[in-house]
Structure 1
Amino acid sequence: MASETKAQRVERIKREKDGLDVIGAIEEYARSGSDPHPDDIDRFKWYGLYTQNRNLQGEEDPTLYFMLRVKLEAGEVTTEQLKTLGYISNAYARRSADITTRQDLQFHWIEVRHLPVIFALLERVGLSTKMAAGDCPRNVVSCPVDGIDRGAVADVRPLVRAVNALFRDNRDFSNLPRKFKIGISGCRSHCISHEIQDLSFTAVDHPSGRVLFDVSVGGGLAKNRRIASHIGYAAAEQVVAIAEAVATLYRDEGNRENRSKARLGHLVDAWGVDAFVARLQALLGFELLPPQARAYTPYALRGHFGAHASSVEGRSYIGCAVTSGRIGGGGLLQLAKAMQRHRAGRAKFTTTQNVVVLDVPESRVSAMTGELEQAGLSSNPTPFKARTLACTGLNFCKFAISETKELAREIVDYLNERFPDFSEPVSISVNGCPNACAHPHIVDIGFVGTILKRGERRISGFELIFGGHLEGERSAFGEKSGIKVAPEEAAGIIERLLLQYLSSGYETFGAFLREQAYDTTAISAVA
């Protein structure tokens, strides 16, 4: 009898037991101390759990450790929630805590025996890990200053809540062909990067004089690398129905035979955009307004750093950079302490692994900004700290080839020292493997983990991708440069690129890279 393919195995596992039903097994494994069944380990994903790489684990330690992802709807956390997350980090996760590109928080070193206590602690403050991973709708990303940004197109918080409510614990959509990522934003900076979401709704000032939503489908990275197709405009009251209809089409028609071709973008390509829209509109019972080309904020200018007056009288918000999202348990508790001291009740994590503190009294902005800086949260970050992303990396991820988080910090520190007066935005992404979790194809410089040769040795390193850019229909993915580097060579390569750019006459670093104006031989001489 032929063995199962990967897709066949996953589909069988989901048919036999819904991922949401694995909670009983988790509790039993925690109580008994028995080893989880491999099928259940796959179902653990529906509760935010992934088995952890053994890279940092001693040979004498047989423990099965997990990464645990906490789903933070709209990226929002209160001071009490931050305290709980910080406690979990310090008590059960060896002080680890990383902000993700979907506004969630991840812990490492989690043991099954501690999960019931962790889940109870999270539930006590209104948090959950359910559907933070798995073949289901993931966290709906949105602008961190929705509803309080004076320059926003629309307040989309009610829509974000409604779409989250639609999918939360909904077994009609807990078995999709693959993950399903949605973004909703009223932000004029277009900070959620709608171009790479499976489904997105972006508020715009439509020529009709109304605020409508650009509906885009099929975006993605890695093996699903595709700029989303803008398929038309919808009114706010139609957004939830469209989200449900797109998820229904994807659930019923998506590819379940090949997981490498199972994302929504693959279905859009298989049918063609026009046929997809026709099927969608038939299911909806109404038509979208026709698509129109629009101008969108370039990726390099997307963000919400610094202190700004809120739409709430007497309040401000402060956007801060966190190098590669690695905030740690100590950072969570420092943030909570600062917020409590200065009477700021909420914060939101961002899609670029940073944080925005909300509801800061205007009289407290200066003092709080200084306190956040001391905690490593920079409201006026350098161009390198502001836009450097990093995935989980080799130390914890089973798919990774190279380590990332510490290298990202080293790159930022090196470039800050070499270019203290550089002010132009530079986006960098450090990825441990080709799966693109830290978005290497949409930044100026993307590092993608690979194996390379140094003399007779084969070592973990990176392949470089240059010139990624998001700007609506002008978006383009970065291209392979042909350069492969060892980790210790990475910062020097960027230094050479910047030096070449500064003497090139180009107006922007991004244009310099996209037009391949760099000298490959010169910049790779360090390798």
Structure 2
Amino acid sequence: MANTTSAAMPSRPRRSNGQWAVDGRAPLNPNEEFKQAGGSPLAVRERIERIYSKRGFDSIPSDDLHGRMRWWGLYTQRAEGIDGHRTGTLGPDELSGRHFMMRVRLDGAALTGEQLGVLAGISRDFARGTADLTDRQNLQFHWVEIESVPEIWRRLESVGLRTVEACGDTPRGFLLSPVAGVAADEIIDPAPMLAEIARRYLGRPELANLPRKFKTAATGHPSLDIAHEINDLSYVGVVHPRLGPGFDLWVAGGLSTSPRLGERLGAFCTEQEGPEVWYAMVRLFRDYGHRRLRNRARLKFLLADWGVEKFRRVLEDEYLGRRLTDGPAPALSVGNPDHIGVHDQKDGRRYVGLAPRVGRLSGEVLAGLADAVEVAGGARVRPTPLQKLVVLDVAPDRVTDLLARVEPLGLTARPGPFRRATMACTGIEYCKFAFVETKAAATALAAELDSRFEGVGIDPPIGLAVNGCPNSCVRIQLADIGLKGQLSRTDGGEGFAYQVHLGGGLATMGRPEAGFGRTVRGLRVTADEVADYVERVVRRYLAGRDGDETFAQWSHRVDEAALR
């Protein structure tokens, strides 16, 4: 009989992952094909300006409409009248309406009154008054028509704003500490470093075809306020014992349906080294990232395959050409990363953190805010990664007037605990992936809970995240209470409910490390039940916590019966 042991059998050929540096550049799926066809995806701007904006929506071919236009911040929004039962069954043409969501990448910009006024005008003139803050510190308009896009770009760019690479398989918008450059307790100001990265590298065709999106974040604030564990590359302010203030590097975090926390690279970089490190990291991802299967094309899957030691070695040997300095880990976080309230700046002025309702603004609110910051002495405004706003550079004698002017706009520095700590994604109102409505539901939920818990001390606030689908755009796995909308089968047929995640959190407010929430087997909560459910669980926590035990600690300690 022939020898059939494994030693005698021929080895199976390795299956290609579509890694350019290993497998070559032959595209392995339709997405990779359109990205390589016809030059850089960034070239679609010229067609939008010259052809589509003049000939109308029907002149746009599918690869541009559902593909390349994302490279300039444009997605078709969900067609009206399509309910959540059909979300997963229709193709992009059937789900898409004839209007666009346009994302303005802000990269942590401190917006002036003039810039806010331009954004307000765009909202009023071209977006039916819409304007939403995202948890990536971006601003999104809806109802944008293709005919208006060139004029919107002209207005944005006249005040230094842009949409380039706000979406698509690109280096996405940067997260920056909302109090960068002004906080009295800041370790290092990362704003100049990120501005230099943007100046050098954004919009370069060589970096415009990545396997998937690449997310960057930087903070020098001790509250660790940029969700550093869930970005592809995060710079976290630390003090090196020999080199002084700089950044500890974290790599390859991400959520969605396969969440993975980023890991410390163990490397320190100075502010001057930061742009070089960023450029090296993005090229490593471009060349070694997986491209065969789109759901495994994020950097987190490459790190899972390689491990930190190999990842750092390839980065240093093949892309930097030198070793990075080993460095210290960040200290335990101090303070609330939402920056709500009135705080001292290092220059004697104040910064004021304001809470909208789950990130929802409007052209009217933007215009009112523009007027308020001008009256406050030329203050500036930064969005935060928690769908909030921070007004910078307020003279101490103008704080009271500022608060009085923004309160009628729906912006408050004294929100209830649930309004303060609730986020919501776009939801079925505009998003093609969503199953349920989120913005109005989350607004009503937070208001109801603040009413039910009025006078009850909840410190720190218990965070809620309301998401319309599994993609975790508002970090449901890392919220104290994450609510994921989905189809749900009941005795009455197929309906909608929330899957519940309990006890997640980032390494903020003294928590030593990030952790994912706990799901309770079989637990689904309908929209009508959710306020009662949250109240029940929070009251059990308040009654049963052990000393200063956090909600996350309690949620992971108690048995499932307490969480139902």
Same structural fold, with TM-score higher than 0.5 when normalized by the shorter chain = yes
Pair 71,287 (structure 1): closer, same or farther in 2 beyond 3 Å: same
2:422 paired with 1:400: no
1:31 corresponds to which residue?
54
Task: Specify the code of the residue in structure 1 equivalent to 2:46.
Answer: G
2:330 paired with 1:309: no
1:386 corresponds to which residue?
420
Task: Specify the code of the residue in structure 2 equivalent to 1:475.
Answer: A
- CA distance in 1: counterparts of 2:263 and 2:453, whole angstroms: 38
Give yes or no for contact 1:347–1:355 (8 Å, CA) kept in 2: yes
2:530 corresponds to which residue?
490
Pair 121,453 (structure 1): closer, same or farther in 2 beyond 3 Å: same
Q: Structure 1 residue aligned with 2:306, among 252, 263, 271?
A: 271
2:211 paired with 1:187: no
1:59-458 matched pairs, under 5 angstroms:
64-208=98-242, 210-231=244-265, 232-282=267-317, 283-290=319-326, 292-297=328-333, 301-313=336-348, 315-421=349-455, 422-424=457-459, 425-458=461-494
- CA distance in 2: counterparts of 1:97 and 1:420, whole angstroms: 30
Give yes or no for contact 2:76–2:97 (8 Å, CA) kept in 1: no
Give yes or no for contact 1:344–1:357 (8 Å, CA) kept in 2: no
Where 1:52 maps in the other structure, the secondary structure is strand
Give yes or no for contact 2:74–2:101 (8 Å, CA) kept in 1: yes
Pair 256,437 (structure 1): closer, same or farther in 2 beyond 3 Å: same
Where 2:369 maps in the other structure, the secondary structure is helix
Task: Specify the code of the residue in structure 2 equivalent to 1:465.
Answer: H
Where 2:101 maps in the other structure, the secondary structure is strand
Give yes or no for contact 1:74–1:142 (8 Å, CA) kept in 2: yes
Give yes or no for contact 2:239–2:328 (8 Å, CA) kept in 1: no
The percent of aligned pairs where both chains have the same amino acid is: 35
Pair 498,509 (structure 1): closer, same or farther in 2 beyond 3 Å: farther
Larger radius of gyration between Structure 1 and Structure 2: 2
Cα deviation digits, residues 399-449 of structure 1 (max 9, x gap): 001111111101110111000123312111000000011111111000112
- CA distance in 2: counterparts of 1:62 and 1:92, whole angstroms: 19
- CA distance in 2: counterparts of 1:209 and 1:44, whole angstroms: 44
Cα deviation digits, residues 158-217 of structure 1 (max 9, x gap): 111112223221111111000000011111111001111100111112344721311010
Give yes or no for contact 1:137–1:167 (8 Å, CA) kept in 2: no
Where 1:461 maps in the other structure, the secondary structure is strand
Pair 518,306 (structure 1): closer, same or farther in 2 beyond 3 Å: farther
1:514 corresponds to which residue?
555
- CA distance in 2: counterparts of 1:265 and 1:384, whole angstroms: 32
> What displacement does 1:519 show?
5.2
Pair 65,341 (structure 1): closer, same or farther in 2 beyond 3 Å: same
- CA distance in 1: counterparts of 2:563 and 2:313, whole angstroms: 49
> What displacement does 1:512 show?
4.7
Q: TM-score of the superposition, structure 2-length normalised?
A: 0.87
- CA distance in 2: counterparts of 1:361 and 1:245, whole angstroms: 41
1:52 corresponds to which residue?
77
Where 1:223 maps in the other structure, the secondary structure is coil
Give yes or no for contact 2:251–2:262 (8 Å, CA) kept in 1: yes
The gaps in structure 1 that reach 5 residues or longer are: 1-5
Pair 508,96 (structure 1): closer, same or farther in 2 beyond 3 Å: farther
Q: Structure 2 residue aligned with 1:503, among 523, 528, 543?
A: 543
- CA distance in 1: counterparts of 2:183 and 2:45, whole angstroms: 39
Cα deviation digits, residues 464-497 of structure 1 (max 9, x gap): 0111122286221112223211112212111001
Pair 350,251 (structure 1): closer, same or farther in 2 beyond 3 Å: same
Where 1:323 maps in the other structure, the secondary structure is coil
Cα deviation digits, residues 257-299 of structure 1 (max 9, x gap): 111111111111111211111111112122223355544328x
Give yes or no for contact 2:170–2:210 (8 Å, CA) kept in 1: yes
Give yes or no for contact 1:445–1:466 (8 Å, CA) kept in 2: yes
2:29 paired with 1:8: yes
1:463 corresponds to which residue?
499
Cα deviation digits, residues 139-173 of structure 1 (max 9, x gap): 11111111110100012221111122232211111
Task: Specify the code of the residue in structure 2 equivalent to 1:476.
Answer: G
CA RMSD in angstroms, aligned pairs only:
2.2
Task: Specify the code of the residue in structure 2 equivalent to 1:430.
Answer: V
- CA distance in 1: counterparts of 2:131 and 2:420, whole angstroms: 19
Q: TM-score of the superposition, structure 1-length normalised?
A: 0.93
Task: Specify the code of the residue in structure 2 equivalent to 1:161.
Answer: A
Where 1:402 maps in the other structure, the secondary structure is coil
- CA distance in 2: counterparts of 1:405 and 1:63, whole angstroms: 20
Pair 7,451 (structure 1): closer, same or farther in 2 beyond 3 Å: farther
